[in-house]
Structure 1
Amino acid sequence: MSANVQSRSLTVPDILGAKGATPLVCLTAYTTPMARQVDAHCDIVLVGDSLGMVLHGLPSTLGVTMEMMILHGQAVMRGLSRAFCVIDLPFGSYEESPQQAFRNASRLLAETGAAAVKLEGGAHMAETIAFLVARGVPVMAHIGLTPQAVNTLGGYKVQGRNADRERILADAQAVADAGAFAVVLEKVPESLGRQITEALKIPTIGIGAGAGCDGQILVVDDMLGLFADFRPKFVKRYADLAGEADRAIAAYAAEVRSGAFPAPEHSFGDAVK
């Protein structure tokens, strides 16, 4: 979708209508300034629970709370005017029952203004997805590598190879049949990403799932190169902001220590002008 012809906020029907058309552009955002940066270029902006690792230094997404998601969701919504905003349900906020999922999903949407929620899991979450959709909560599903299940998966490993392939295919069909309007495919073989995309009537959003998906998503800090030593195979760096920031901070430190900053133009005189 082109930002030049799309001025209103995107909706679920818009996202569904992108199936098989121009690929959907998706990025994460966690703050108002970044939301403003990505809004004109993205169809979908995800307030991901990856914020726990990206912004708060947590070792995984498991420690992210509802309060953290609400705080960052509110910040992102202040910066968006056209992109479709999806917010993650954090670990422990939806797995217990469909009723628990609805309470927390409705709270996220009401308190942030986001358009939809995302939850992780395949066939075992189909009942919950259907329950939410029937009550007016749009759901984006997430299968393949599901970071909230990192302890049971044994790490951030590629999923869908060998025996796992049929399970992930079944997961994809189950979440689509349950009413999800889109599904994130994370860290699966390219051939599986393409097979799922061809089989489903809803858009697939790939992250490490190959070029055959209906859209792509990355963590914005990763593609901007804000982490000097974090280089997943599926991330292309479009900038080296960590290097730029290091150079700028080093120059500032050197000028402070030498007395070059602040210069007269950065200081106030006694006379009122």
Structure 2
Amino acid sequence: MSASARVTAPTPSEIRASKGAEPLVMLTAYTTPMAQMMDDHVDMVLVGDSVGMVLHGLPDTLGVTMEMMCLHGAAVKRGLHKAMMVVDMPFGSYEESPEQAFRNAAALMRDTGAAAVKLEGGVTMAETIRFLTARSIPVMAHVGLTPQAINTLGGYKVQGRGDDRARVMADAKAVAEAGAFSVVLEKVPASLSDEITSALDIPTIGIGASANCDGQVLVVDDMLGLFTAFKPKFVKRYGTLGADGETAIKAYADEVRARSFPGPEHVFADEVPTK
């Protein structure tokens, strides 16, 4: 069923059961207006820890806090009625132990109204995913390039080439077996993404992966062209809002300096005009 035809948001169980059906559509959002804009068109909205880079000017996602995720998650939830919301668990909020992960995941879901959380990692996080799902915390997994691990991965590099292929496959199988209802594959070669999609009984969500994944996700600011100097290979620009916005801002600044704005139609007279 298309997003526009739905009355209520899908559940994690329904997302899992959609494996092999119509491709799933997911975008990130960090504000209420953006959530409202996409609610009729997507199946899932991810409040990504990418908010740190997109809205807060951080160099990576490592500085994102629980407070930031709760704030933006609650804002996004206010704009959604038909799409399911997933919130990223920030770096340092789940790696220490399954118990730590449960406390923070429960807090995120309670404070934002999210239907599920997303966390990064494969084999090493399987125990935590199993612990969370056994305690009614739906988990979307994330393998391949995991941005919270860029310091150990050596940067934002494609994962799963050559001898590394088996590791990424093992990570994907581990999170599925642990109970994740879906898994994001980031910067994974297309052929390996296809193998993983065929091997798993849960939906795969690609970002820099393969068109044959069960769904796709992009950072909304990337696909709308809000950034003009940064464009990953896997991003297609569906708009040029950054350039359009800068043009509009310059026009406003020029008119203010020329005293052509505000015009007579934008100011108020001393007396109420008569009809």
Secondary structure, in 3 states, of the residue corresponding to 1:62? coil
Aligned to 2:26: 26
Select between 15-24 and 71-80 the one with higher mean Cα deviation: 15-24
SS of residue in 2 equivalent to 1:33:
helix
Residue in 1 that maps onto 2:258: 258
Asked whether the equivalents of residues 30 and 75 of structure 2 are also in contact (C-alpha less than 8 Å), the reply is yes
What is the correspondence of 1:214-253 to structure 2 with a 5 Å cutoff?
Answer: 214-253=214-253
Residue 23 of structure 1 aligns to which amino acid in structure 2? P
Q: How many Å separate the matches in 2 of 1:51 and 1:8?
A: 26
Counterpart in the other structure of 2:115: 115
For structure 1, the 5+ residue unaligned runs are none
SS of the equivalent of 1:196 reads helix
* TM-fit CA distance, 1:32: 0.2
Q: 1:229 is matched by which residue type in structure 2? A: A
Residues 1:192 and 2:192 are matched in the alignment: yes
Amino acid at match of 1:131: F
Distance (Å, rounded) in 2 between the aligned partners of 1:103 and 1:17: 27
Paired with 2:45 and 2:266, the residues of 1 have a C-alpha distance of 38
Task: Give, in whole Å, the separation in 1 of the partners of 2:262 and 2:48.
Answer: 39
Deviation at 1:12, TM superposition (A): 1.4
1:48 and 2:42 matched: no
Contact 2:16 2:181 in 1 (8 A): yes
Number of aligned residue pairs: 273
Counterpart CA distance in 2 for 1:9 and 1:187 is: 28
Identity among equivalent pairs (%): 69
Residue number in structure 2 paired with 1:95 = 95
Shift of 1:26: 0.3
| Distance across 2 between alignment mates of 1:39 and 1:102 | 28
Give the whole-Å Cα distance in 2 for the aligned partners of 1:135 and 1:10: 20
Displacement, 1:8?
Answer: 1.0
CA deviation after TM superposition for structure 1 residue 152, in Å? 0.3
Q: Deviations over 1:60-119 (max 9, x none)?
A: 000000000000000000000010100000000000000000000000000110000000
**CA shift for structure 1 position 57:** 0.3
Counterpart Cα distance in 2 of 1:129 and 1:4:
32
Offset, 1:129: 0.1
TM-score by length of 1: 0.99
Structure-2 residue corresponding to 1:154: 154
Moved over 4 A (4+): none
- Other structure's SS at 1:232 match: coil
TM-score norm. by structure 2 comes to 0.98
Q: CA deviation at 1:10?
A: 1.1
Relative to structure 1, the CA distance from residue 4 to residue 56 in structure 2 (aligned partners, 3 Å threshold; closer, same or farther) is: closer
Separation in structure 2 between the aligned mates of residue 202 and residue 209 of structure 1, nearest angstrom: 16
